[in-house]
Amino acid sequence: MPRHKRPWEVAKLVGADKKDPQRYRKKPPKNKNPLGAAPAHLTPAAKKVWSELKKNSVPGVLTAGDSLLFEITANLMAQYRENPKEYPAARIERLVSCLGRLGMSPSDRQKFGMPADDGKSNPFDKF
């Protein structure tokens, strides 16, 4: 399975736009609307998962444009929690894939280029 295309923001952070500038000359549109609350048609278990995932997501990354994938992820996670022993391996792979696309694994969070908090603050950073 081929790798997913790197998001524009991630490419900028890791310097891929400098290595291959023609691939990143246009900034893709980004939805300005926030993710929002869980849709009314979700089950109570899926709504609970929606809230949990939203709370644990990387701030400022997910928007309303991600709501459909977020809905699928919430449903898969709710189904998994109902009966994890009977959950098929293929669905677990799909769930892990969805979580990764939403930046919810350690390796995927690293792609967002969040600065490391080493406990040392530089008083000149605000200048």
Structural domain spans, the chain: 1-29, 31-110
The answer to whether 61 and 112 are in contact (CB under 8 A) is: yes
Please compute the mean of the pLDDT values over residues 26-53 and round it to a whole number: 91
Q: Please tell me whether residue 47 adopts helix, strand or coil conformation.
A: helix
The model's confidence at residue 57, banded by pLDDT at 50, 70 and 90, is confident
Residues 127, 125: Cα–Cα separation, whole Å: 5
The model's confidence at residue 11, banded by pLDDT at 50, 70 and 90, is confident
The pTM of this model reads 0.70
The answer to whether 113 and 13 are in contact (CB under 8 A) is: yes
21 vs 111, which has greater pLDDT? 21
Residues 44, 63: Cα–Cα separation, whole Å: 22
Residues 94, 83: Cα–Cα separation, whole Å: 16
The model's confidence at residue 20, banded by pLDDT at 50, 70 and 90, is confident
